[in-house]
Amino acid sequence: MRRLGDILAPLVLVAVLLAIWEAACRLMEVPVYRLPPPSAVAMALAGNWALLLESAWNTLRMALWGLLFASVSAMAVALVASLHLLLEKAVRPIAIALQVTPVVAIAPLVSIWAGLDHPERAVVGLSAVVAFFPILSGALAGFKAADPDLRRLFRLYGAGRVQTLMRLELPSAAPFLAEGHKVAAGLAVVGAVVAELAAGSGGSQGLAWRILESANRLRTAETFAALVVLTLLGLLVYAAMTLVERRVVGRWRAPVR
């Protein structure tokens, strides 16, 4: 019963807000090109669902490629940095500098470096850049989370570096890695959208391009429809990462003290 209430509460609130939005647009006679009512957005969704789904898949596909590249590179850097404290101190400031730099500011540069004729490369590249730091931060914290007593026990029994990594450090780091990937997945979608907007080209044919195209033509209902699909896409990615954390990583994680 409590779980049902947790599900119904936000749905009821959304329904009330949509009703207020619809009534306000009709009573105040707001022009559709300025602020369309939810009914107009629903019609735009119904009329363009096939195109929006195709664009959503393009955005998701490139964001997942960026997440994959970020995961592999961040894990590799974390493994190397965990070997010595000096290496970690050298790597961490650079990673933080990348993280605090606004993604919008570097998007044009990434588009130029990737090649103006290949906007999809810029989308994947920027997705990887913004997803890199959460995974790296989670990996570095996770590798340190292993129980010191267990580390000494492993050394006492002559365990090698690879054995310690596979049997102690990675299981201890699993919760941190899962959380880092969950955050990075959402940021990868954000990076993909920003790169598509910065590219200003329909070559990638993602959701951001649909938003830009419809907004330039003052088809605001279609813009809102693309935004709705983009929001649902972000929620889907987050739910998928949560499911992976519960079903896969949860079986491997070790108690962290």
Q: What is the pLDDT of residues 179-214, one digit of tens each?
A: 888 889 988 998 888 888 876 655 567 888 889 889
The model's pLDDT over 45-97, given as tens digits with 9 standing for 90+, comes to 998 999 999 999 999 999 999 999 999 999 888 888 877 777 778 887 877 78
pTM above 0.85, yes or no: no
Report the length, in residues, of the chain. Answer: 257
CA distance 197 to 25: 29
| Residue 126 to residue 128: CA distance in whole angstroms | 5
Rounded to 5°, the CA angle 103-105-106 comes to 70
Which one-letter amino acid corresponds to residue 187? Answer: L
SS3 32: coil
What's the rounded Cα separation, in Å, for the pair 120 and 191? 12
pLDDT at 125 over 70: yes
Tens-place pLDDT, residues 154-183: 777 677 666 777 777 777 777 888 888 888
pLDDT at 251 over 70: no
CA–CA distance, 247 with 239 (Å, rounded to integer): 12
**What does the pLDDT average to over 142-149?**
75
Residue 227 has pLDDT above 70, yes or no: yes
Mean pLDDT across 107-118: 78
The answer, yes or no, to whether residue 240 has pLDDT greater than 60, is yes
Burial class of 243 by CB neighbour count within 10 A (0 to 12, 13 to 18, 19+): exposed
Give the type of residue at 143.
Answer: F
Give me the pLDDT at residue 103, please.
Answer: 78
Calculate the average pLDDT of the chain: 82
* Predicted pLDDT at 222: 93
What was the pLDDT predicted at 23? Answer: 94
- Whether the pLDDT of residue 256 is over 60: the answer is no
Report d(CA 131, CA 154) in Å as an integer: 33
Distance CA 66, CA 184 (A): 10
Overall average pLDDT of the 20-33 stretch: 90
- Residue 38 confidence (pLDDT): 93
Q: What is the DSSP string of 240-256?
A: HHHHHIIIIIHHH----
